[in-house]
Chain A
Amino acid sequence: MSLWRYANPVEFMRLSGRAMPALWALTAACLGAGLVWGFFFTPDDYRQGATVKIIYLHVPAALMAINAWIMMLVASLIWAVRRHHVSALAARAAAPVGATFTLVALVTGALWGQPMWGTWWAWDPRLTSFLILFVFYLGYMALWEAVEDPEKAADLTAALALVGSVFALLSRYAVLFWNQGLHQGASLSLDAEENVADVFYLPLLLSMAGFVLLFVTLVLLRTRTEIRLRRLRALELRAGRLAEEVA
């Protein structure tokens, strides 16, 4: 028995269908608890005041914006190498979720930046990189939409995901060369206590778990929809052909 049997659409549908209710519940619990805790029951930061409450949205969204792209790239590569359709469809399903998280990170960042830096937007390396990432998400989704033949669309978007990853990363470093920014360094690392105090850290961790779960849930849901859509198209095609034969 190997992991790859879950790449079988029927098996995938069976298992993911069973997991969905629990995933929804867990997502709601983690996200709700993390955000309520963060919003109502944490003190203000001595430098940033109440704006520190934005961290429970901004950091998890930013984290998942990047991780969604990485997951999309891995799924695309699995498709390219092993030709599992579920994998290609999972990559397709992840893109809108990742793009939305990128947008959430950008918007919450702008709202946080206004009182802290005195501006909604600065062409800071991190902000700029996220805007570039957002554009890559949009291009990836547009290519999926534009190509009609599903197999060809999967191949082309996989190629784009690979090329796009290289250039998103290149842009990340090129942008550093172009402008050193205002943004603070990563607020979380393995020795997180040094960066973010405990009172903020625990609800933040909970909220991050919530975002991860939300991502997994939505990607599974959207992948299931894509698989059903594929099946629907196949049925329609067969019905159309039958109609032609009869006529």
Chain B
Amino acid sequence: MSALLARELALTLRAGGGAMQGLVFFLIVILLVPFGVGPEPGALSRVAPGTIWIAALLSCLVTLDRLFQTDFEDGSLDALALSPLPLEAVTAVKALAHWLTTGLPLTAIAPLLALTLQLPAAAYPWLVAALAVGTPALSFLGAVGAALTLGLRRGGLLTGVLTLPLYIPTLIFGARAVVAAADGQNPVPALALTAALSLAVLATAPFAAARILRIQIR
């Protein structure tokens, strides 16, 4: 399993693997928001939590194609399915690698970008905490969405149509935690719900994704 994780990370991190592109995409989405909303600090700080969360959702989404697509095309996925490692473990490791190269780095740079959006000071630790516990769910749900649209022409758009609605509960709880902290309310309930949802997704999504992959490579 660690060998597979190392392989996934190496493939993503090598030149042209696209690890940076997800982050750059995250940065650009956030850069666009002041142009749409206006530069007033009050308006920006009001939309900052939601903006950062939606940017995180989109960055996860646009990088989903690298989860299974290349392995499906070159036949590695069939090899992985025949390997002694269960396909459920393979999808879990792949989703984990996706999170390590997408969700984790964007969690790390989110406070910096939040600064430009005038997020109130009290909310920073909660922003990092909410993203850290929430973004794994995005990668694991993304594995389900990516598996469903594997091998389709124009599959990328459909991946978004199918995956983004699955992100709604995570978005609601995760953004709520940050908004609550920014408004001086108690962010713990929302954060706890984000974490609970992530744990449930982490436990179940690999099984769903593996089942779907078996349909795809049958």
| A residues whose Cβ falls under 8 Å from a Cβ of B | 132, 135-136, 138-139, 142-143, 146-147, 152, 155-156, 159-160, 162-164, 167, 170-171, 174-175, 177-178
CB pair A138–B208 under 8 Å, yes or no, is: no
**Is residue B36 within 8 Å, beta carbon to beta carbon, of the partner chain?**
no
> Which chain B residues (139-193) contact chain A, with CB distance < 8 Å?
144, 148-149, 152, 154-155, 158, 161-162, 165-166, 168-169, 172-173, 176, 190, 193
CB pair B148–A143 under 8 Å, yes or no, is: yes
CB pair B168–A139 under 8 Å, yes or no, is: no
**Is residue B21 within 8 Å, beta carbon to beta carbon, of the partner chain?**
no
CB pair B165–A178 under 8 Å, yes or no, is: no
Nearest chain B CB to A154's CB is how many angstroms away? Answer: 10
CB pair A143–B173 under 8 Å, yes or no, is: no
Q: Can you name the residue of chain A whose Cβ is closest to the Cβ of B214?
A: A155
CB pair A177–B144 under 8 Å, yes or no, is: no
From B149, B158, B168, B216, give the contact of A174 (CB < 8 A). Answer: B168
CB pair A175–B166 under 8 Å, yes or no, is: no
CB pair B169–A146 under 8 Å, yes or no, is: no
From A142, A155, A159, A175, give the contact of B158 (CB < 8 A). Answer: A142
From B168, B173, B190, B208, give the contact of A159 (CB < 8 A). Answer: B208
CB pair B162–A177 under 8 Å, yes or no, is: no
CB pair B161–A138 under 8 Å, yes or no, is: yes
Q: How many residues of B are in contact with the other chain, CB < 8 A?
A: 25
CB pair A132–B165 under 8 Å, yes or no, is: yes
The residues of A that contact B168 with a CB separation of less than 8 Å are 132, 167, 171, 174
A-B contact pairs, 19 of them (CB 8 A): A132-B168, A139-B165, A142-B161, A142-B162, A143-B149, A146-B154, A152-B215, A152-B218, A156-B212, A156-B216, A160-B148, A160-B162, A163-B144, A163-B208, A167-B169, A174-B172, A174-B173, A177-B173, A178-B176
Cα A60 to Cα B105 in complex, Å, equals 48
Cα A155 to Cα B162 in complex, Å, equals 15
The residues of A that contact B152 with a CB separation of less than 8 Å are 146-147
CB pair A159–B148 under 8 Å, yes or no, is: yes
The residues of B that contact A156 with a CB separation of less than 8 Å are 148, 212, 215-216
Q: Can you name the residue of chain B whose Cβ is closest to the Cβ of A162?
A: B208
Cα A131 to Cα B148 in complex, Å, equals 22
CB pair B169–A143 under 8 Å, yes or no, is: no
A-B pairs with lowest CB-CB distance, top 10: A174-B169, A174-B172, A155-B215, A170-B169, A171-B168, A139-B162, A178-B172, A139-B161, A167-B166, A135-B165
Cα A167 to Cα B137 in complex, Å, equals 13
Q: Can you name the residue of chain A whose Cβ is closest to the Cβ of B163?
A: A139
Interface hub of A143, A167, A175 (most chain B Cβ within 10 A): A167
Cα A167 to Cα B155 in complex, Å, equals 21
Cα A177 to Cα B218 in complex, Å, equals 41
The residues of A that contact B211 with a CB separation of less than 8 Å are 159
The residues of B that contact A147 with a CB separation of less than 8 Å are 152
The residues of A that contact B165 with a CB separation of less than 8 Å are 132, 135-136, 139, 164, 167, 171
Cα A138 to Cα B164 in complex, Å, equals 13
Nearest chain B CB to A181's CB is how many angstroms away? Answer: 14
The residues of A that contact B173 with a CB separation of less than 8 Å are 174, 177
Nearest chain A CB to B142's CB is how many angstroms away? Answer: 12
The residues of B that contact A135 with a CB separation of less than 8 Å are 161, 165
Nearest chain B CB to A92's CB is how many angstroms away? Answer: 16
Nearest chain A CB to B54's CB is how many angstroms away? Answer: 14
> Which chain B residues (87-108) contact chain A, with CB distance < 8 Å?
none
The residues of B that contact A175 with a CB separation of less than 8 Å are 172
Cα A163 to Cα B163 in complex, Å, equals 10
The residues of B that contact A138 with a CB separation of less than 8 Å are 161
Nearest chain A CB to B185's CB is how many angstroms away? Answer: 13
A135-B161, A142-B158 given; 13 more Cβ-contact pairs under 8 Å: A135-B165, A139-B165, A142-B162, A143-B162, A147-B152, A156-B148, A159-B212, A160-B148, A160-B162, A164-B165, A167-B165, A171-B172, A178-B176
